[in-house]
Structure 1
Amino acid sequence: METVFIVAAVIIALLLLSLVLVKQGHIGVVTRFGKYHRMMSPGIHFKFPFIDNVFNKISIQHRSIELEFEAISLDQASVNFKSLILFSAKNSDEDTIKKIAFRFIDEKSFMQTLIRSIEGSIRAFVATKRQSEILVLRQEIVDAVKDHLEDSLNHWGFHLLDLQINDISFDEAIMRSMSQVVSSNNMKAAAENEAQAQYLIKTRAAEAEARSIRVKAEAERDALELKGVGNALFREQVATGLAKAGTIMDAGAVDPALMLYTQWLDTMKNVAAHSHGNILSFDGSNDGFDKTFKQMQLINKSLLEKNTH
């Protein structure tokens, strides 16, 4: 009876040793007597106990590494980098899985080599550039490292999915100096913008004033022209009216000088009504009246002679 239990226990132990569970996203690598034998896909598999050995279970999922390291620029400035690398197995083919399983002694050796390769590529690139150039060369650094790293990863059975440089920083003293330079440039740009704005404001004001003066001058000129035309028309109408009145008075045997004298009296009345003074003095004696009337006659005679000629 005891023998039966022993045999059953041995059989169960052998069965347990024969079962291999491979998780999803992994590939099992089996060796027989220390030599590669076959691959195991995800699921439950059987192997010969003590003959077959599961050497490794290779992950074919995406993997990422975050790195922080320091590099020295051409002008001996210390530059701090933070980067992220994303990679995975190139495929699940047998040759690729064999490369991943047997290129390195273990996972730790592979990761050390990968990290040193990335850091070395970035340091080599930064060593050829000055500190002032590095910030604007982020993409160039990424491209240079990708070109170098892609070949190495392919040789190891991996594929580079992405490489990012998330942060580039300098020593505190350099950062303060850069901040002062940026602040100075911003102040200079602000002063230039302010000066330009003031210049534009003054220029626009001068242009507006010039336009206003020009419009005002044109308006005054037009007003004077209209006033001159109005005065000319007024004088023309007055002359026409006087001529008609003279003709009527000649037909009625009335001395035209009487009309001129009447106009003179109307003028004096209008001056008295609209002047700012209180007294209007003129010669109202008989001799003065006679003198004024004779002058009117002479003016009328002169006008008639001109009209005749």
Structure 2
Amino acid sequence: MEVAVILFVIAVIFVTQSIKVVPQQHAWVVERLGKYNGTLMPGLNFLVPFVDKVAYKHLLKEVPLDIASQVCITRDNTQLQVDGILYFQVTDAMRASYGSSNYIVAISQLAQTSLRSVIGKLELDKTFEERDIINAQVVQAIDEAALNWGVKVLRYEIKDLTPPKEILHAMQQQITAEREKRALIAASEGRRQEQINIATGEREAFIARSEGEKQAVINKAQGDAQSILAVAEATAQAIERIASAIRQPGGAEAVQLKVAEKAVDAYSKVAAEATTTLIVPSNMTEVSALISSAMKMVQVQRA
């Protein structure tokens, strides 16, 4: 009975030593008699009991690594307290096991030294403006060395950049002065634009008034010209009708009668005025002579 129990225990030990189930996104490094033998992939795997053993277990997921805060000195000799975080992933389990005694510590230390080197090449203002460039340069510097450790550095992010209090105060004053300067410039630009708008409006109004006055003068002149032309045309038509009437039978006698009426009417108007001295021709035949002269002129026009 005791032998059976011993055999059962030995069998259980053999099974536990020979059968290994590796979880997803994990890699186990197997050594055979102290030498690297292979890497177990996720799933069911078999080992030789007491000969093979799992020496290292690695997680293949992306791992965030907090980089300790450190003091960095910029190109213009300003101290900065920098805090960051690094993301990496194990890509080669064998190199991660034998390339470095502790690849996590190695990556962390290399990230700090690379960050100091990158920031030391930049001035203070540039460190705030070019954080993406700093992150990319740190990743590039770490990734070149991490290849021998079976690790892929995915990205590095600066969480915080903290300059000394004196620098912060000076930067705040500079920002305030810059904002006040922009406000003054904006106000002056507004006043300038306002004056330009007023001057432009007045100029356009003056042009509009002058154009209106010009058009009014043109319209009046055209109206006067049309009025004069209408009067002239009406006078011409009246003269033509009179001339046509004179050519008719009895027209000459009618003209004589009309002239005589006008003469008599003129004499009567002159006599009616109290302050007018009327001089009557001694020879009344002069009136008939005047009528005869007018009739001759009419006859000449008819001819």
Match of residue 176, structure 1, among 172, 175, 188: 172
For 1:280, the equivalent position in structure 2 comes to: none
In 2, Cα distance between equivalents of 1:256 and 1:12: 165
Output one character per residue of 1:210-241: Cα deviation in whole Å (capped at 9) or x when no partner: 33123213212212322331343255257547
Helix, strand or coil at the partner of 1:74: coil
For 2:120, the equivalent position in structure 1 comes to: 127
Task: Indicate yes or no: 2:154 matched with 1:153.
Answer: no
Helix, strand or coil at the partner of 1:75: coil
For 2:13, the equivalent position in structure 1 comes to: 13
Output one character per residue of 1:259-297: Cα deviation in whole Å (capped at 9) or x when no partner: 9x89xx9xxxxxxxxxxxxxxxxx962554969xxxxx9
Task: Indicate yes or no: 2:101 matched with 1:105.
Answer: yes
> TM-score, length-normalised on structure 2?
0.70
The worse-fitting range, judged by mean Cα deviation, of 113-122 and 232-241 is 232-241
For 2:213, the equivalent position in structure 1 comes to: 217
Helix, strand or coil at the partner of 1:44: strand
Please tell me the residue identity of whatever aligns with 1:87.
F
Match of residue 285, structure 1, among 264, 273, 286: 273
In 1, Cα distance between equivalents of 2:81 and 2:196: 46
In 1, Cα distance between equivalents of 2:261 and 2:108: 127
Give the direction of change, closer, same or farther, for the CA distance of 1:233–1:87 in structure 2 (3 Å limit): same
Task: List gaps (5 residues or longer) in structure 2.
Answer: 280-289
For 1:73, the equivalent position in structure 2 comes to: 74
In 2, Cα distance between equivalents of 1:86 and 1:244: 114
Please tell me the residue identity of whatever aligns with 2:259.
D
Helix, strand or coil at the partner of 1:4: helix
Deviation at 1:111, TM superposition (A): 1.9
For 2:287, the equivalent position in structure 1 comes to: none
Cα contact 1:22–1:57 (8 A) shared by 2: no
Give the direction of change, closer, same or farther, for the CA distance of 1:258–1:100 in structure 2 (3 Å limit): farther
Helix, strand or coil at the partner of 1:161: strand
Cα contact 1:89–1:157 (8 A) shared by 2: yes
Task: Indicate yes or no: 2:62 matched with 1:62.
Answer: yes
Task: List gaps (5 residues or longer) in structure 1.
Answer: 91-95, 266-282, 292-296
CA radius of gyration, larger in: 2
Give the direction of change, closer, same or farther, for the CA distance of 1:167–1:239 in structure 2 (3 Å limit): farther
Cα contact 1:56–1:101 (8 A) shared by 2: yes
Deviation at 1:84, TM superposition (A): 4.3
Show the 5 A alignment for 1:1-309.
Answer: 1-67=1-67, 69=69, 70-81=71-82, 83-90=84-91, 96-106=92-102, 110-165=103-158, 168=161, 170-171=163-164, 172-233=168-229, 235-237=231-233, 239-240=235-236, 243=239, 251=252, 252=254, 253=256, 254-255=258-259, 258=262, 285-288=273-276
Please tell me the residue identity of whatever aligns with 1:33.
L
Give the direction of change, closer, same or farther, for the CA distance of 1:199–1:113 in structure 2 (3 Å limit): farther
Helix, strand or coil at the partner of 2:130: helix
> TM-score, length-normalised on structure 1?
0.69
